[in-house]
Chain A
Amino acid sequence: MRALRARARVAAAVLLAGLAAPAGASSFPVFDNDPVDSSSGRPYPILPGTPLILPQPNGKFNPPIVDSSTVGDVDLVVRAGTIMVGPSIPPPSASPTTAVAGGAAMAGGSGIPFTVVVSDGNGTPASGNPLLGPEMDGIPVLVAAFADLDGDGVVGPTNADDGGADDDARELQESDYLVGRQIAIFHNGVAQGTLFVWKGAPASAGGLHVVLTALAYVGPFSPSFFFGSVPDGPPVATRLPFFPRYDPDHVVEANGRGGLAEPGHRLGIELEPAFEPPVDDPDLGTPFALATDGSSPTIDRVAVYGGPLSRLRFVRPSSATGFPVGAEVPLHRGAGGALYEDLSSVDVPDNGPGSAVPVRLVPVDALDNVTDPPAGARATLIAGPGLVISAPDTDGDPTRETVPVAGADGVDVTLDDAGGMGDSGTGSTVTVALDGVPVETLAVRFVPGAAAAERPTITHAELAGHPDSAVAGHPLHDTVVAVVDDPQADAASVTGAITLNGSPLGTLLLQEGPPPPGLDLPPGQVFTGPIDVTPSETGVLEISLTARDVADHVSDPLRLSLPVFADGSAAVSDLSVSPDTATAGSLILTVTARIAAGEPVTRVTAQMDRGHGFRRIAMLNDKGLLGDAAAADGVFSRRRTIRMPAPGSFPVRVVVTDRLHGAVASAPVELHVVAP
């Protein structure tokens, strides 16, 4: 299960002049009263607060041998910040200090100053007392940072969180993969330095809680041992999120040939667990889970924020179910504590309008941490061939959309195939540009829309009496007519839901039968049914119709809407679009409607529903301008160029606003767009 994990590769870049070798192992007070391995005469490696854990005779921890009668004391303590160490070691700060992810000179990182202190392990106070002698001068200490990616307050797997045991595999990512490491050198029992971490989260979400830990080998330097680059002695450590493989053969790259570890040079270590951290083990419990609340006396924590906005990227929500073990899976903590994974490709059904696929675009820094964007941030999405950005669509051009990025939660984007069934090819892309530069590409694979191929489609619906509106408090009696196109011609029923301003008002059941006389309907199965409702207030009465066939395939909904006016409010009649049928692409559309109003109207707008609700497409006027034939004749018009890249029928309505009655909407007419 555990392969190559928790890997921090570090190697000193040059062979440095050797530092003065400290005294022999017996003269290190940090080992006073520590249990000693009688076979080697050396203190056992033992982590603070955990039982003595030993390997099997073959050297493997499979399983580990646990001696609960011996518990490790405190040898090292790490604190965030550059602190003066006096007679005592200060506790972790009440609230975590903050930092920005990134390196000293890259990605805008701020660095985390740290202080490591050698402790005598005296149980009072919990962190012990500082050992400020020169015995460990020149010995390097590794400070390693681990992140609480899922925000449960613990680094590493635990069953004590809301996810229980279900998310333990995902939580291994927290303990297996460190997020920063640095070396510092002891002087008089204290080692200080600055650590840069590469993981963060939006400041608006409180940042990412990162725990600092420390580990050092304690002993003299000997030219015959690791070329004099590694102290020849046992390891000491703060609490760690796992029990590490301590043998320096397995930790130090190239057996120390790289020279002494130095803070300013490349470093090479591999820090791996000796065995998987136990969770609720009968003997050990959950000994390696690290709390991020400052309650653990040997470690400290920092809240790390994402750096400056560098680009936007697509993500998907992380799922703990079936989470892989043994491989690093980048996890990104976002706004509101959301946990995301990378999204590099997505499948989109090639079945015409409908079955759109939602994806999320979030702002990230140069290290791909979700971050808070600056005010006014905007990105442009460009859909490749065969693909449309069905939402957001503020400009009527679904192939390209410029979106504001107001917060770390990013932007929800909905993708759909262009055209009809099976005509989009094999794949496409969505490219995201920031300041004109392509910064993200999402691969799109078109997949067969098998279900859609057999689904019925409501191609037309209307009220037989053709009312332009309803009046609040007055009953509406009419007949709803729907025409269904089903590939097998086996549509069985049409049902409808009636709402007034979004609130349920009733249901409909339409039966197949002859249409009312005088209607000009397209070919297909005709369904009819009575509607008898009395809207109680002004607003919009909406009827959402859905067809179902004998195989239980269900159509996309088709909506009819009818404005509900108060007596005396504006009335819309003679609404038309010209042309009412056009070829896909750019076209010049003229919208015309007659408005009768008791009060002066303040605004008349035309709106179109491209499948995601009505959106404004034009402001109409009665001034004889921009397509309006004559001023002040009560007929409002507007001519403008719009882009309709995909075939289909698109409802267009007019909304009239006056000061007394507010906004009222007309019944829609349809613009039919056909393939070139």
Chain B
Amino acid sequence: MRSQRWRRRGLLVALALVTAVPARLRASGTSPALVLSAAAGAAVGDQRSVALEGSFDFANAVQVAYPLNLVVFQGSRFVRYRVPGAAVAGDSPELADGQLTADELDAFGQEGSAAAAGVRIVTLVTDRIRIALPAGFTAGPTTAILYAVLPDSPVLSNPIDFTLP
């Protein structure tokens, strides 16, 4: 499990990213600071999950159900978890370059279809989210990113790269 030093490093990353949010967003006071600071995958047979640490605007996610999304992808294969809502999985050309940008969110949001029943958010707490991944996700390099499409502008977290076991 993650050491305290790793946790401190994660917090520093989070702090740096929060301060790096564009001034326009900070001034509004309305944009959540979405941050992913650590990721750890787990596997039992072909079933995989990942636990992500960071900042998810948790209180608002519980109370007002604003459109927060978590995306996990390997190449162009992705799964998207709407918080709240069902998971969607599929392939997206927008992810082929290994990135997801604000300009691509509209098109990306239309892609994919309902994931299998067991693909779900397992845990959501203040600083951690754990998800069950679709069976198509295999051991290897993986990326996760958070985004929220808000009326004034979309907000994306930093992407985080990790290796699924």
Contact = CB atoms under 8 A, between A and B. Distances in A.
Interface string B11-46: 000000000000000111110100000001011110
A458 interface: no
Looking at B40, B43, B122, which has the most chain A CB atoms within 10 Å of its CB?
B122
Interface in B110-151: 118, 121-126, 130, 132, 150-151
Nearest to B3: A345
Contact of B27 (A13, A257, A267): A257
A106 B61 contact: yes
A102 B58 CA distance: 11
A438 B42 contact: yes
B102 to A, nearest CB: 17
Interface stretch (B62-70, B72-80, B90-98): B62-70
Nearest to B62: A103
B59 interface: yes
Contact of B62 (A196, A436, A441): A196
B49 interface: yes
A330 B151 CA distance: 33
Contacts of A443: 1
B121 A441 contact: no
B32 A266 contact: yes
Interface string A336-379: 00000000110000000000000000001011100000000000
Contacts of A474: none
A441 B64 contact: no
B84 interface: yes
Nearest to A380: B44
Given A266-B66, A310-B123, A435 B60 contact: no
A128 B61 CA distance: 36
B64 A368 contact: no
B152 interface: yes
Q: Secondary structure at chain A's binding surface: helix, strand, loop or mixed?
A: loop
Contacts of A436: 44-45, 47, 118
- Please tell me the size bucket of the interface on B: 35 or more
Interface stretch (A4-12, A91-99, A594-602): A4-12
A649 interface: no
Interface residues of A, number: 56
Interface in A191-233: 195-198
A107 B132 contact: no
B83 A106 contact: yes
Nearest to B45: A436
A399 interface: no
B123 A266 contact: no
A71 interface: no
B109 interface: no
A311 B123 contact: yes
B152 A14 contact: yes
A642 B32 CA distance: 56
A264 B32 CA distance: 16
A264 B47 CA distance: 37
Given A181-B59, A344-B1, A254 B65 contact: no
30 contacts: A9-B59, A12-B30, A13-B151, A13-B152, A14-B151, A14-B152, A105-B65, A106-B65, A106-B84, A109-B62, A180-B63, A181-B59, A182-B63, A198-B62, A256-B29, A257-B30, A264-B64, A265-B64, A266-B30, A310-B123, A311-B130, A344-B2, A367-B62, A367-B123, A438-B42, A438-B48, A439-B130, A439-B132, A441-B40, A443-B1
List 9 tightest A-B contacts by C-beta distance, closest first.
A254-B29, A443-B1, A106-B84, A438-B42, A105-B84, A258-B30, A258-B29, A103-B62, A345-B1
Given A106-B124, A442-B1, 14 more contacts: A104-B84, A106-B84, A107-B124, A182-B63, A195-B63, A256-B29, A259-B30, A267-B63, A367-B124, A368-B123, A433-B47, A437-B44, A439-B123, A441-B1
Interface of A: 8-14, 102-107, 109, 180-182, 195-198, 253-259, 263-268, 310-311, 328, 330, 344-345, 364, 366-368, 380, 382, 431, 433, 435-439, 441-443
